[in-house]
A and B are shown apart, each in its own frame.
Chain A
Amino acid sequence: MAKLVISNNIRKLRFYNNEMTQQELAKRTGVTRQTIVAIENGKYSPSLELAFRIAEVFETKLEEVFSYEIIEDKSKREDNSK
């Protein structure tokens, strides 16, 4: 199965929202700062509910906050080329 890599623009969006702190974002979304740090660093993929809450804090669409990239399996690609 192809690998799905999720990335986010939370750091950038925090910067554009008057350098909002991670603590402030955590408070407004109802999670701990540790979770916000983990999401920002790509160590945790949030639930759909939390993802929408983050987008709502930044008053933007979900696609503006999170994006994904499909990385195909190397072995599969080699099989297809044969």
Chain B
Amino acid sequence: MYYQEKKTIASIISRLLILAAYSIYGILKYQEVGANLLNDLKLWAAAMLIFIGGGVVIAILIQIVFHIILAVANEVAKEVSNKAKCKGSEEAHEEFEIAEFEDEMDKLIALKAMRNSFIVVGVGFVIALVSLYMKMPPAIMLNIIFISFSLGSLFEGFSQLYFYRKGVKNG
């Protein structure tokens, strides 16, 4: 597995954590407050702002931890490789590649994955509008939009993984 794939997996994990934490928060709050919660738009707005901010912090932390683990694993692989060379063994130990830049393939994959993410967000927005039309509380619409953005970013990550594995064609 290459660096970009590992990085994508790390970001998928952080997005999953945020979505899971938000879902648990929403369910617990609903059990605590009851149906009145659906009319409290201020609470939902505050919760979403907190989770957006927390999401950014968690994503940064996970990326830092990921890079530390990758650097340590790289050093261990080098050490093992050097020892094997000293013993005259031809056993090869793959070094973990740390690519500090995005090349043209990474950019193309990111663009295609973002397009897929926009499709999910667009579908979510339409569902949110339908929920309003069906006279559901605005809090439901707000939650559908928030969750569709989260699912969209998750779908973006999975699309990236798919393109890295299956390949990507121009056009």
A-side residues, CB < 8 A to B, are: 23, 30-35, 37-38, 41-47, 50
Least CB distance, A70 to chain B, in whole angstroms? 16
Q: Chain B 68-110 against A: per-residue CB contact (8 Å), 1 yes, 0 no?
A: 0000000000000000000000000000010101011110000
- In the bound complex, residues from chain B placing their C-beta under 8 Å from that of A23 are 97
A47 touches B166 (CB 8 A): no
A34 to B105, CA, bound (A): 9
Residue from A33, A45, A50 within 8 A of B169 (CB atoms): A45
B167 touches A31 (CB 8 A): no
Q: How large is the interface on B (under 10, 10 to 19, 20 to 34, 35 or more residues)?
A: 10 to 19
Q: Which residue of A lies closest to B165 (CB)?
A: A43
Q: Chain B 1-26 against A: per-residue CB contact (8 Å), 1 yes, 0 no?
A: 01110000000000000000000000
B168 at the interface (CB under 8 A from A): yes
- In the bound complex, residues from chain B placing their C-beta under 8 Å from that of A50 are 104
A44 to B103, CA, bound (A): 13
Residue from B3, B97, B104 within 8 A of A46 (CB atoms): B104
B103 touches A41 (CB 8 A): no
A32 touches B3 (CB 8 A): yes
Least CB distance, B164 to chain A, in whole angstroms? 7
A31 to B104, CA, bound (A): 8
B36 at the interface (CB under 8 A from A): no
B2 touches A32 (CB 8 A): yes
B170 at the interface (CB under 8 A from A): yes
With A33-B97, A38-B167 known as contacts, the answer to whether A44 contacts B2 (CB < 8 A) is: no
A41 to B165, CA, bound (A): 11
A45 to B3, CA, bound (A): 20
B167 touches A47 (CB 8 A): no
A23 to B96, CA, bound (A): 12
- In the bound complex, residues from chain B placing their C-beta under 8 Å from that of A37 are 2
Q: Give 10 CB contacts A-B under 8 Å.
A: A32-B3, A32-B101, A32-B105, A34-B2, A34-B99, A37-B2, A43-B166, A44-B167, A45-B169, A47-B104
Q: Which of B3, B104, B170 has the most A CB atoms < 10 Å from its CB?
A: B104
Least CB distance, B162 to chain A, in whole angstroms? 12
B170 touches A45 (CB 8 A): yes
A32 touches B99 (CB 8 A): yes
A7 to B22, CA, bound (A): 48
- In the bound complex, residues from chain B placing their C-beta under 8 Å from that of A47 are 104, 170
